[in-house]
Structure 1
Amino acid sequence: MEFITDRITVDSEICNGKPIIRNKLITVQTILEFLSVGESQEEILHQYPSLEKEDIYACLKFACDLMKRNFTIKTFA
């Protein structure tokens, strides 16, 4: 298991290795998808009562940190 932050972890045995929140079966991707369609933090917290507001902030920070990296697109034949 790798700790990305104190709230985000990656474990190849959980959720196919996707980043998860505090070892729960809730992926960062799930929370980002809810936010991307306009769900409020309050609605997300209502749907996932085991989460805290800080978990949502951690997901956003995780996504921002990914965008700081450089990416290269390569074409394969």
Structure 2
Amino acid sequence: MTTYIADRIAINPGICNGRPIVRGMRITVQTVLEFLFAGTSREELLQQYPMLESEDIDACQQFAIELMDKRYVIQEFKAAA
């Protein structure tokens, strides 16, 4: 079952091992962000993935921003003796 966690971002345990995906397709948010981080332009990305829309790229970036807005706690684990 696909659950939309944002307007264009979804999670489905049966698609891409449950990673966040774009509009139910087999394109992960991580893939889009990695291309952008590597210097791929928005136009190039849209050419390489013609099923993507410009708004999908915006949604991926917004999703990443919202993840960084969460509070994270690092816990120390003691090794067994």
- TM-score under structure 2 length normalisation: 0.91
- Does 1:71 pair with 2:72? yes
> Which residue in the other structure is 1:2 paired with?
3
Aligned residues with identical type, % of pairs: 55
- Specify every segment of 5 or more residues in structure 1 that has no aligned partner in the other structure, as ranges: none
Question: Once the two structures are superposed, what CA deviation does each residue of 1:14-49 show, in whole Å capped at 9, x if it has no partner?
Answer: 100000001100000000000111110001000000
The alpha carbon displacement at 1:56 in A equals 0.2
Aligned partner of residue 30 in structure 1, secondary structure: helix
- Does 1:47 pair with 2:66? no
Specify the structure having the higher radius of gyration (Cα). Answer: 2
- Number of residue pairs matched? 77
- TM-score under structure 1 length normalisation: 0.95
- Specify every segment of 5 or more residues in structure 2 that has no aligned partner in the other structure, as ranges: none
The alpha carbon displacement at 1:75 in A equals 2.2
Within 2, Cα distance between the matches of 1:68 and 1:40?
A: 25
Once superposed, what is the RMSD of the aligned Cα atoms?
0.8
Runs of 4+ in structure 1 deviating by more than 4 angstroms, as ranges, are none
